[in-house]
Structure 1
Amino acid sequence: MIVPALITPMDRSGRPDAGALQEIIDRLEPSVDGFLVLGSTGEAVTLAPEERRELLEGLKVRKPFWVGVGDESLPLARRHAEAAVAAGADYLLAMPPRFYDRAMTREAFATYFHGLAEVGEVWIYHVPMFTKTDFPLEIIRELAAHPRITGMKDSSGDVNRLIYYRAHVPGFTVFSGNGLNLAAAVASGARGAILAVGNVAPRLFSAVMDQQRNNGEVEQELAALAYDTAVLFGKGGAVLIKQALRFLGLPAGYPRPPFPPESPYWLEAERLLGRLKEEGWLL
């Protein structure tokens, strides 16, 4: 199951465009198994609560639908969660508070995630590259006992964490958020993946997942192409993904200022996109 972590289209002044987001969803829909809106790749941390709400209102999503809701306090995160549920979200993907990470005790984690679970079905989001926050395994095991905390996206790239979830949190749905180790993640128990690079080449990573699940390994050439694609778009982030989608004729817009409109990795990406197109992996 491949789910793109969608970009948020914006004009050059940084105004979000809900119509453009719908167009991208419609274009991706035949190639993916669901959608994440307002995650890390969606630049959600740069958006005000009312901007998030306005983006969600009126979206038509006909496949499983995650919305990012994490913030620095439970009241703020609940505000995002309520807007997401009102828009029809199936799952709330929640990062923990991170600025005052030393105050995140076991009790604080429980208060935050249990409070969000009062609003909707919650998935935990572990993305240490951005949060710089430790998320102890035993706390995840405790949170997973809650009937409305049913899954997680783990973007750490640490396969040992995935093995722990499979061994100690039976029945908990775990998705990888790291395209670099997707085959290993599947072998270690991940049931799917929510990937930024799913905006550009979702079928490529779906093929990696299917081969690993069905054959126990991935063809070397396919694995190498997926690795190169994940590395490049991981380095380039939302700036490069938006530039690639514009190149493909989609209304991705630009990153919100102060981030640059174009990526220093573009020439490399243009060559890679040519190869992906030639081999039939692009949208």
Structure 2
Amino acid sequence: MFRGSIVALVTPMHQDGQIDFSTLADLVEFHIEQGTDGIVAVGTTGESATLGVPEHIAAVGAVVKAVAGRIPVIAGSGANSTAEAIELTRAMDALGVDGMLTVAPYYNKPSQNGLVAHFKAIAAATDKPQLLYNVPGRTVCDISNETVAELSKVDNIVGLKDATGDLSRVTPLRQACGEEFLLLSGDDPTAMAFMLAGGDGVISVTNNVRPAEFKALCSAALAGDIATARRLDAQLLPLYSALFVEANPIPVKWAMEELGITRETHFRLPLTEPSEHSKTIVRAAIEATQPV
């Protein structure tokens, strides 16, 4: 279903902050040509936190239209309000996405019981597959392994994007949730090890700038080709830190313009253009990871 190299797609914008739909469609074609296995549209890397609901729906709809069924589209549908997340979920369902990615509620700091109730309420609003998204570094809310295991019993909660970077979670999660439950890394630096430990793929930021190389890395890791996976991981290593030298997606959007993948680099406030120091770091990582 959702396996391999999945891009956490950026949302291109014009200088005035409006969504650049033409470039968004171009990015879809770019990723399909490069072999990307799936697209997360308007997740947190897609600046979902700064888009209004109508814009969010329009951007995901544009990706679904451009993909035209060629690879899976997973829509970001999370919110810190359960009611808003349900509203988004129903809207994404109507667009015909293949699945949805629902981030843990940020800022609220709910209990584990609150998380269970939140995700169950969202899942009940649709028949589409749901992926949980645990990224406590951004949400200040950690979905425990026990909570994931409980939620895995819900028919349409089919997997987890784990951005904790804690590899000790993989084996217990696999044992608790079963072989069919999808475990996807959301942390590029540990993604290779995550897959070798039994994960099913990666929802990646780095994939935005080196999609063919990241696809090759995922394919090797999932095939158990440890030597090739390690070689490709080492090749991409400089980007893993450089693309987070400032808050995501600031560095990756700038890197995409630097590489000519996009024409402009613009953000929604409060995000702003990277500093000159950060640009130097990202540029050096780009040069160090040129395909050979």
Structure 1 Cα separation of the partners of residues 50 and 61 of structure 2: 18
1:163 to 2:171 alignment: yes
2:183 and 2:201 in contact (8 A); partners too: yes
Deviation at 1:104, TM superposition (A): 2.8
Worse overlay, 207-216 or 12-21: 207-216
Deviation at 1:252, TM superposition (A): 5.2
Query: In the alignment, which of 269, 274, 281 is matched to residue 282 of structure 2?
Result: 269
Worse overlay, 255-264 or 191-200: 255-264
Structure 2 Cα separation of the partners of residues 99 and 270 of structure 1: 33
Worse overlay, 135-144 or 237-246: 237-246
1:18 and 1:56 in contact (8 A); partners too: no
Say which SS state the counterpart of residue 235 (structure 1) adopts: coil
Q: Could you tell me which residue of structure 2 aligns to residue 228 of structure 1?
A: 238
Q: Could you tell me which residue of structure 1 aligns to residue 226 of structure 2?
A: 216
1:239 to 2:242 alignment: no
Give aligned-pair identity as a percent: 25
2:218 and 2:229 in contact (8 A); partners too: no
Query: In the alignment, which of 214, 228, 237 is matched to residue 205 of structure 1?
Result: 214
Structure 2 Cα separation of the partners of residues 122 and 251 of structure 1: 33
The alpha-carbon distance between structure 1 residues 141 and 219, as it changes in their structure 2 partners (threshold 3 A), is closer
Q: Could you tell me which residue of structure 2 aligns to residue 70 of structure 1?
A: 78
Deviation at 1:220, TM superposition (A): 5.3
Structure 2 Cα separation of the partners of residues 219 and 84 of structure 1: 35
1:17 and 1:55 in contact (8 A); partners too: no
Say which SS state the counterpart of residue 135 (structure 1) adopts: coil
Query: In the alignment, which of 19, 26, 45 is matched to residue 23 of structure 1?
Result: 26
Deviation at 1:176, TM superposition (A): 0.5
Say which SS state the counterpart of residue 265 (structure 1) adopts: helix
TM-score under structure 2 length normalisation:
0.88
1:256 to 2:262 alignment: no
Say which SS state the counterpart of residue 84 (structure 1) adopts: helix
Worse overlay, 250-259 or 116-125: 250-259
Give the residue type in structure 2 aligned to 1:20: T
Structure 2 Cα separation of the partners of residues 265 and 221 of structure 1: 26
Higher RCO, 1 vs 2 (CA within 8 Å, ≥6 residues apart): 1
Give the residue type in structure 2 aligned to 1:104: S
Structure 1 Cα separation of the partners of residues 213 and 152 of structure 2: 31
Deviation at 1:221, TM superposition (A): 4.6
2:134 and 2:161 in contact (8 A); partners too: yes
1:154 and 1:177 in contact (8 A); partners too: yes
Say which SS state the counterpart of residue 189 (structure 1) adopts: coil
Structure 1 Cα separation of the partners of residues 264 and 61 of structure 2: 19
1:4 to 2:10 alignment: no
Q: Could you tell me which residue of structure 2 aligns to residue 190 of structure 1?
A: 199
Worse overlay, 187-196 or 227-236: 227-236
Worse overlay, 231-240 or 157-166: 231-240
TM-score under structure 1 length normalisation:
0.91
2:192 and 2:229 in contact (8 A); partners too: no
Structure 1 Cα separation of the partners of residues 291 and 30 of structure 2: 19
State the aligned residue count: 277
Query: In the alignment, which of 99, 113, 119 is matched to residue 113 of structure 1?
Result: 119
Q: Could you tell me which residue of structure 2 aligns to residue 41 of structure 1?
A: 45
Structure 1 Cα separation of the partners of residues 236 and 45 of structure 2: 19
Deviation at 1:216, TM superposition (A): 3.2
1:123 and 1:151 in contact (8 A); partners too: yes
1:183 and 1:217 in contact (8 A); partners too: no
Worse overlay, 232-241 or 177-186: 232-241
Deviation at 1:154, TM superposition (A): 0.5
1:58 and 1:87 in contact (8 A); partners too: no
Q: Could you tell me which residue of structure 1 aligns to residue 58 of structure 2?
A: 54
> Which ranges of structure 1 fall in alignment gaps of 5 or more residues?
none
Deviation at 1:241, TM superposition (A): 1.1
The alpha-carbon distance between structure 1 residues 275 and 216, as it changes in their structure 2 partners (threshold 3 A), is closer
Structure 2 Cα separation of the partners of residues 37 and 183 of structure 1: 23
1:104 to 2:138 alignment: no
2:112 and 2:147 in contact (8 A); partners too: no
2:184 and 2:202 in contact (8 A); partners too: yes
Structure 1 Cα separation of the partners of residues 14 and 160 of structure 2: 32
Say which SS state the counterpart of residue 253 (structure 1) adopts: coil
* 1:129-148 alignment, distance < 5 Å: 129-148=137-156
> Which ranges of structure 2 fall in alignment gaps of 5 or more residues?
none
Deviation at 1:161, TM superposition (A): 1.1
